[in-house]
A and B are shown apart, each in its own frame.
Chain A
């Protein structure tokens, strides 16, 4: 593993189904984030975790949940998907850079039908 990986790359999901988006890092960064990116709206923070064992809500947390059992993994779960959750989801980390800049995974493109 090099950097941040996300799975799946893309997914088409029926409304009402449960889905977990996976994010794994090998950068040993403490902080991890989940964003969604929609055309014209920019990146919006869903949930974040400043360190293993802690999580917090971002700007648009409704309908999503996260867990942080260890440093490397930060899964995002949609308990019952709705069409408005169609988006591109990015996982990001920050930690040891000079400016604590965020590093992004490749993204998951999710379509809820």
Chain B
């Protein structure tokens, strides 16, 4: 079966750095997405990786290792507004998105 694993919840301090991990086992791979979802709102696109390595976009970076079936989202200089759920999703061989359950990130002052 297809499976995506992420930690259920993480806590970090304002101004710090946090890394959210995602491991996947899917039938084929055509890219990995990270989305942010604030409570009561819709998910919004953060990043996309299809090749191994690090993609940086401001305070957020995303890393992919296809051989290990592993990705992480790195958030730097954490702000209170970063409190949200972070969803990892993989595009499989049929170009369907398989979603992880999401990681709830709690930022403390």
Give the interface of A toward B (CB within 8 A).
40-45, 48, 58, 90, 97-99, 101-107
Looking across the interface, which residue of chain A has its beta carbon closest to that of B40?
A107
Residues in A with CB closer than 8 Å to B101 are 40-42
- B99 adjacent to A101 (CB under 8 Å): no
Give the interface of B toward A (CB within 8 A).
4, 8, 31, 33, 41-45, 48, 50, 87, 89, 96-97, 99-102
Bound CA–CA A104/B4 (angstroms): 21
Residues in A with CB closer than 8 Å to B44 are 104
Residues in A with CB closer than 8 Å to B8 are 40
Residues in B with CB closer than 8 Å to A41 are 101
Identify 6 residue pairs between A and B in the complex whose beta-carbon atoms are under 8 Å apart, listed by A's number. A40-B101, A42-B100, A42-B101, A48-B96, A104-B43, A106-B42
Bound CA–CA A48/B45 (angstroms): 19
Whole-angstrom distance from the CB of A62 to the nearest CB of chain B?
17
Whole-angstrom distance from the CB of B54 to the nearest CB of chain A?
16
Looking across the interface, which residue of chain B has its beta carbon closest to that of A107?
B42
**Which of these, A40, A42, A105, contacts B42 with CB under 8 Å?**
A105
**Which of these, A90, A102, A106, contacts B97 with CB under 8 Å?**
A102
Residues in A with CB closer than 8 Å to B33 are 99, 101-102
Residues in A with CB closer than 8 Å to B102 are 42
- B41 adjacent to A102 (CB under 8 Å): no
Looking across the interface, which residue of chain B has its beta carbon closest to that of A31?
B95
Whole-angstrom distance from the CB of A78 to the nearest CB of chain B?
20
Residues in A with CB closer than 8 Å to B42 are 90, 104-107
- A43 adjacent to B45 (CB under 8 Å): no
Bound CA–CA A43/B8 (angstroms): 14
- A43 adjacent to B43 (CB under 8 Å): yes
- A103 adjacent to B45 (CB under 8 Å): yes
Residues in A with CB closer than 8 Å to B48 are 98-99, 101
